[in-house]
Structure 1
Amino acid sequence: MVVFPNAKINIGLNIVEKRQDGFHNIESCFYPVGWSDALEILPAESFSFQSDGINIPGDPATNLCTKAYDMLAADYALGPVSIHLLKAVPIGAGLGGGSSDAAFTIKALNELFGLGISLEKQLDYARRLGSDCAFFIENKPLYCFKKGDRFEEISLKLEGKWIVLVNPELHISTAEAYAGIRPLKSENDLRDMLKMPMESWKEVVKNDFEISLFPKYPVLKEIKERLYHEGAKYAAMSGSGSTLFGIFEEETDLSYKFNEYKVWQGYLK
């Protein structure tokens, strides 16, 4: 079985408060994009995990795909599998790539072994692996709150819009990003702001991480400004960085304009 774990962007990201468990409560809209890894899971004589493409640091035994398998194997009679991950979505880029790999592993194992795990239980499993893993179970535009693992439906529809993602190949850890944050409740409801015309989002739909990360990494601010210069209706940093995205009304090939960076572009669904 081969699946394609896709990335996501954050359209607006408010860091509301620090929780007693050390995490933060946030408010954001998660929106899936087509930049994806390739994940192959096949029955095998013994369990194995290997990856190609972008190098994934750390012990393979601690990879989220392995953890997802171990978690389900503790509750279900799974047979051994070989997992092969072709990593294409940048790491530490604010795109949720590792979380998506984990969630797609849960969904693929559920299908491969006919486990019949309910949607709610799949969400619960995903929440154990990471704050934004659960989003990729349903993998559709959602308003996200709490740790980014609780969701409400949102009427935001960007189907047919063109998106350009630019990654300057900076790895920004979650800990580094949060170190410069002062949590503050937003005066306005993000869901209401996203009902406004996209042209007005520039002034009101913010990513709180930009406040501390732009001065530290000026290239991020520069890329955002260049996206607006090229005609983006809205541009922002995704998650805790370091990927910037621009949303355009029509197809706009910017690969040659940002050829010093990693670029993915395509239509939103």
Structure 2
Amino acid sequence: MTAPPVRFSLPAPAKLNLFLHITGRRADGYHELQTLFALLDHGDTLHFQAADELTLSCDRPGLPVDESNLVLRAARLLRDVTGTDLGARLHLEKRLPAGGGVGGGSSDAATALCGLNHLWGLGLDEDRLAGLGLRLGADVPVFVRGRNAWAEGVGERLQAVELPEQWFLVVDPGVAVPTARIFGDGELTRHTPAITLPASLGAATLERFHNDCEAVARRLYPAVDNALDWLQREAGNARMTGTGACCFARLAGAQAARDLQRRLPKNWKAFVARSTQLSPLHEALATLRAQQDPGPAFNDNAT
């Protein structure tokens, strides 16, 4: 196998919570959840380049590139636990909204862990990387593992699931919703009865579920309320992802999603995305590995 390339780029895909039930609250204040993660083919991109120092830059003005950014925290955590003194120049190409509930920061961190594990030749397996990811945030492990997943606990207990391919229009209402504000609200529903993983996870089954955070987000953020109302009128199956602010609707296909995007109210933002069985991050990593290890050379003199 040849050495890892000194420069490459990897995707950091978005996710949707197709539903989110809050089933209780633990003694430490964290909430017990049940949710279904769907990974999308749209997201950020993280660029890697071997370097002596560890630095981060970003194309979005105003986005912190210091220790408050999960990418840099993930990189430093990986260096600390492995003892490596290698560096990297990281550049984040940001497409996903901050505070949007689509997993932007968590996905960026997961891509940093997986990409630097490759760049630095550390050889950590998926379980070890997912464990490090959990130290950064409850949503990071699902991106490290790269499969659609049924999640419980605080979101860290994952069971990979097969989901039908679906197309979504995801609307960004233009506000950032702090998770702590939603979970700290006194009117948040915290006692939805726990359910078991359904045998089928088709669209009809998912319609029986809901997002417990929606009512609070609607009340606190009129932009979220407006986005959900518009999507419900236009598509009929509107839902908020995570603790907000992004809202989404399932459409019959790519064309239907783009048609609806063209009817978006002025000054709103939205993107069209398809759910995937395997994360684009893992597809890209597999391609990188294949390029490094092309297999045994063909022997022209073989008889």
Same fold (TM over 0.5): yes
Find the aligned partners of 2:61 and 2:202 in 1 and give their Cα distance. 37
| SS of equivalent to 1:62 | coil
Find the aligned partners of 1:208 and 1:131 in 2 and give their Cα distance. 18
1:159-203, CA deviations, whole angstroms, 9 ceiling, x for partnerless residues? Answer: 1x22100001111101111122231142644x32x836524644x
Gaps of 5+ in 1: none
Spell out the pairing of 1:9-158 with structure 2 (5 A cutoff).
9-53=16-60, 55-57=62-64, 60-76=66-82, 77-155=84-162, 157-158=163-164
Structure 1 counterpart of 2:182, from 174, 177, 189: 177
Partner in structure 1 of residue 253 of structure 2: 250
Check conservation: 1:53, 1:87, Cα contact below 8 A.
yes
Structure 2 counterpart of 1:213, from 203, 207, 217: 217
| SS of equivalent to 1:134 | helix
1:29-56, CA deviations, whole angstroms, 9 ceiling, x for partnerless residues? Answer: 0111122111111111222111112632
Partner in structure 2 of residue 166 of structure 1: 171
Check conservation: 1:167, 1:261, Cα contact below 8 A.
yes
Partner in structure 2 of residue 230 of structure 1: 234
Aligned AA for 1:96? G
Find the aligned partners of 1:188 and 1:75 in 2 and give their Cα distance. 37
**CA deviation after TM superposition for structure 1 residue 61, in Å:** 2.4
**CA deviation after TM superposition for structure 1 residue 19, in Å:** 1.8
Tell me how many residue pairs correspond in the alignment.
262
Q: For the aligned residues, what is the CA RMSD?
A: 1.9
Find the aligned partners of 2:61 and 2:96 in 1 and give their Cα distance. 8
Find the aligned partners of 1:106 and 1:167 in 2 and give their Cα distance. 27
Change (3 A) 1:80 1:188: closer
Look at both structures and tell me which one has the larger radius of gyration over its CA atoms: 2
Partner in structure 1 of residue 292 of structure 2: none
**CA deviation after TM superposition for structure 1 residue 145, in Å:** 0.8
Find the aligned partners of 2:219 and 2:194 in 1 and give their Cα distance. 24
Find the aligned partners of 1:266 and 1:62 in 2 and give their Cα distance. 28
| TM-score for both structures, normalised by structure 1 | 0.90
Check conservation: 1:214, 1:220, Cα contact below 8 A.
yes
Find the aligned partners of 2:60 and 2:131 in 1 and give their Cα distance. 30
Check conservation: 1:168, 1:242, Cα contact below 8 A.
yes
Partner in structure 1 of residue 10 of structure 2: 3
Aligned AA for 2:250? I
Partner in structure 1 of residue 299 of structure 2: none
Check conservation: 1:13, 1:206, Cα contact below 8 A.
yes
Q: Percent identity?
A: 25
| TM-score for both structures, normalised by structure 2 | 0.81
Over 4 Å off, 4+ runs = none
**CA deviation after TM superposition for structure 1 residue 99, in Å:** 0.4
Check conservation: 2:17, 2:36, Cα contact below 8 A.
yes
**CA deviation after TM superposition for structure 1 residue 212, in Å:** 1.4
Gaps of 5+ in 2: 1-7, 277-303
Find the aligned partners of 1:46 and 1:122 in 2 and give their Cα distance. 22
